[in-house]
């Protein structure tokens, strides 16, 4: 009997990734599932603010545009889609999708919404029940910043996605969940893996982690970038998974980029804490057990993965208002550019101090882009005589007025500073809100999940 293989591709590594990733994946070869990963920690807070201003917003609108472009191909190729594009308003995203599908005559295509991750409205209730949401980095209780919290989302696991697919959904929308769960969910559905299949769940988790950043495992952001052919048309990654937990990482034939043991392991160690204990809501994956085999022709086999039972908690991503910031930049050109740029910064700070606005070392920032700031401290990384320098300055703090005052002293350098100052077309920098990140844990038993299917 032929062993069943499931093809799962990831076409977006973040909100803002190229729309050509998923579009080309649909055009250039066979797929069973297309996943799209839009959410980062700060993204949810941004979406929350968008929803506060407009109840119809708060999701990844790029996703709706993408579905509009590939709707016919989804049906023709029988591809299912899983995306965390729902953000903090998955039902609004679902409504927008239904409108798009109706225009294409696809009124019977089922869309599932996974609920339960957004606990902003439940925070006080949960805290009253004993959940302290202590910051995982500092140990502080959430009560210290409770009045400034702007979003609170639980990292849900992959089983609700599998449930949605089991109910016939062709598109599954989630809010916050784990990035690897977008790939693991279809594997649970296809192969019938259960909560006690820890090694298999770990294998699916590793597969999802490898492709979660899109082309970052198929040639993008790669150290030996000169070896990557046709990076303009880089092939986004595909997992070809088997029921026994083994899988291949590959891409569509004829596309740019490269899939090798090295490109895969570059991504494998991305955002890695303890490789022996990669914690997810579904399992604990042992990344140190992963074995990579380069089979050539853009195919890497992955096997040997070990796993153990998941913990009894979910991770929670909370954000809160943490003050204000303003940043701006000017280009300083001509002879002695770096020296002139340093003088410009000194002028700004002195003029502000004269007017009663002083900023401590932790409240102000100055950088000289072009002089080696990105690799400061590395031998050969700094230069003292660049032909031009971009001066970047900024301030932060709790006082919005004080932060705003900084912005009005940068542009005057054009006529009241040293010669060669340009690049001021963006105007005065304005104070913008600082979003603080607060990672915490919550007991799983307190977080119910729900799946609703619509068409």
- Quick check: 381 pLDDT over 70? no
Considering the domain boundaries, does residue 358 fall inside one?
yes
135's tokens: 């910051």
Average pLDDT, the chain: 94
Instruction: Specify whether the CB–CB gap between 381 and 375 falls below 8 A.
Output: yes
Residues 211 and 297 in one domain: yes
Average confidence (pLDDT) over 146-161 = 95
Look up the CATH number of the domain holding residue 361: 3.30.70
The answer to whether residue 377 scores a pLDDT higher than 90 is no
Domain co-membership, 360 together with 241:
no
Q: Does the residue 393 lie in any domain?
A: yes
Report residue 345: phi and psi, to 5°.
-60, -45
**Is 380 a residue whose pLDDT tops 80?**
no
Using one digit for the tens of pLDDT, what is the confidence trace for 194-238? 999 999 999 999 999 999 999 999 999 999 999 999 999 999 999
Quote the number of domains for the chain.
2
Angle at 174 between CA 169 and CA 177, to 5 degrees: 130
Do residues 279 and 339 both lie within one domain?
no
Q: What percent of the chain has pLDDT over 90?
A: 87
Lay out the sheet containing 5-10: strands in order across: 291-294, 300-303, 247-250, 238-242, 5-10, 33-36, 80-83, 171-173, 111-115, 450-454
- Give yes or no: residues 33 and 90 share one domain: yes
Please tell me the predicted confidence (pLDDT) of residue 15: 87
Could you give the residue ranges of the DSSP H alpha helices within 355-412?
400-407
On whether residue 130 sits in a domain, the answer given is no
| Residue 290 sits in the same domain as residue 331 | no
Q: 147 lies in a domain? A: no
Q: What angle do CA 94, 97, 100 make, to 5 degrees?
A: 160
Q: Could you say which DSSP state residue 419 is in? A: S
311, 335, 350 - which closes a domain: 311
Position 1 pLDDT exceeds 60: no
Query: Is the pLDDT confidence value at 252 over 70?
Result: yes
**Residue 392 domain-assigned (yes or no):** yes
Judgement on whether residues 342 and 236 belong to the same structural domain of the protein: no
Q: Which residues pair with 161 in a beta bridge?
A: none
Please state the rounded mean pLDDT for residues 102-111: 94
Region 424-438: what's the mean pLDDT?
A: 88
Look at 257-266, 268-277, 312-321, 421-430 and tell me which has the smallest mean pLDDT.
Answer: 421-430
In a domain, 446, yes or no: no
**SS3 (DSSP) at 270:** coil
Looking at the fold, whether 333 and 294 belong to one and the same domain comes out as no
β-bridge partners, 326:
395
Does residue 330 share a domain with residue 304? Answer: no
In the block, residue with structure tokens 């006529």: 415
Are 213 and 299 found together in one domain? yes
> Is the per-residue pLDDT at 325 higher than 90?
yes
Same domain, 15 and 91: yes
- Percent above pLDDT 70 for the chain: 98
Any domain includes 318: no
Are 186 and 215 contained in the same domain? yes
Residue 9, classed as helix, strand or coil, is strand
In angstroms, rounded to a whole number, what is the distance separating the alpha carbons of residues 443 and 65?
Answer: 37
- The model's pLDDT over 288-303, given as tens digits with 9 standing for 90+, comes to 999 999 999 999 999 9
To the nearest 10 degrees (0 to 180), the angle between helices 20-28 and 61-77 is 0
Contact present, 338 and 239 (Cβ < 8 Å): no
241 confidence band (pLDDT: 50, 70, 90)? very high
Q: What is the mean pLDDT of residues 350-356?
A: 97
Q: How many CB atoms lie within 10 A of CB 5?
A: 14
Helix (H) or strand (E) holding 352: helix 337-354
- Same domain? For 330 and 293 the reply is no
pLDDT for res 455: 84
Tokens representing 326 are 């303003």
Helix locations, 134-240, DSSP H: 159-166, 181-191, 198-211
Residue 102: both structure tokens together: 């109706």
Name the residue among 217, 238, 230 with its Cα closest to residue 256: 230
C-alpha distances (whole Å) from 197 to each of 107, 159, 203 are 37, 13, 10
- CA torsion 15→18→22→26, rounded to 10°? 170
**pLDDT computed for residue 48 by the predictor:** 80
Least confident among 11-20, 129-138, 185-194, 367-376 = 367-376
* pLDDT at res. 167: 96
Residue 442 lies in a domain: no
Q: What is the pLDDT of residue 3?
A: 63
Domain range for 344 is: 324-436
The residue length of the chain stands at 455
Cβ-Cβ contacts under 8 Å for 370 (sequence gap 6 or more): 337, 338, 383, 386, 388, 389, 390
Element holding 415 (H helix, E strand):
helix 413-416
Which whole number is the average pLDDT over 356-383?
Answer: 84
Instruction: Pinpoint the alpha helices (H) of 54-166.
Output: 61-77, 90-103, 123-128, 159-166
């Amino acid at each position: 009997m032929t062993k069943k293989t499931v093809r799962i591709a990831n076409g977006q590594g973040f909100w803002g990734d190229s729309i050509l990733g998923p579009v080309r994946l649909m055009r250039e070869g066979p797929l069973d599932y297309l996943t799209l990963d839009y959410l980062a920690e700060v993204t949810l807070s941004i979406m929350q603010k968008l929803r506060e201003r407009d109840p119809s917003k708060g999701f990844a609108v790029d996703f709706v545009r993408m579905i509009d472009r590939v709707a016919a191909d989804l049906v023709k190729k029988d591809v299912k889609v899983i995306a965390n594009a729902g953000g903090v308003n998955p039902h609004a995203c679902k409504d927008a999708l239904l409108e798009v599908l109706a225009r294409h005559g696809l009124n019977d295509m089922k869309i599932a919404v996974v609920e339960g991750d957004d606990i902003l409205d439940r925070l006080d209730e949960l805290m009253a029940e004993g959940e302290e949401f202590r910051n995982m980095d500092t140990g502080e209780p959430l009560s210290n910043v409770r009045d400034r919290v702007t979003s609170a989302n639980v990292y849900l696991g992959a089983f609700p996605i599998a449930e949605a697919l089991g109910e016939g959904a062709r598109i599954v929308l989630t809010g916050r969940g784990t990035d690897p769960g977008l790939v693991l969910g279809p594997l649970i559905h296809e192969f019938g893996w259960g909560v006690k299949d820890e090694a298999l769940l770990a294998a699916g988790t590793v597969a999802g982690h490898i492709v979660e950043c899109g082309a970052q495992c198929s040639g993008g952001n790669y150290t030996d970038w000169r070896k990557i052919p046709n990076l303009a048309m880089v092939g986004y990654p595909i997992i070809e998974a088997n029921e026994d937990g083994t899988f291949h990482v590959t891409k569509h034939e004829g596309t740019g980029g490269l899939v090798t043991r090295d490109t895969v392991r570059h991504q494998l160690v991305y955002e890695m804490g303890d490789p022996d204990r990669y914690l997810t809501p579904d399992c604990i994956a042992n990344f140190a057990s992963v074995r990579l085999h380069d089979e050539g022709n853009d195919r890497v086999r992955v096997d040997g993965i070990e796993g153990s039972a998941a913990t009894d908690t979910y991770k929670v991503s909370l954000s809160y208002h943490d003050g204000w910031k303003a940043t701006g930049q000017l280009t300083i050109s001509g002879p002695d550019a770096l020296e002139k740029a340093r003088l410009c910064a000194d002028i700004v700070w002195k003029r502000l101090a004269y007017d009663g606005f002083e900023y401590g070392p932790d409240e102000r920032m100055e950088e000289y882009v072009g002089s080696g700031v990105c690799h400061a401290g590395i031998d050969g990384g700094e230069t003292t005589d660049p032909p031009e320098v971009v001066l970047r300055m900024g301030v932060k703090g709790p006082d919005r007025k004080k932060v705003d005052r900084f912005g009005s002293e940068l542009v005057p350098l054009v006529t009241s500073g040293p010669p060669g100052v340009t690049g001021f077309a963006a105007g005065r920098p304005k104070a913008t809100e600082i979003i603080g990140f607060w990672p915490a844990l919550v007991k799983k038993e307190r977080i119910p999940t729900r799946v609703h299917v619509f068409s």
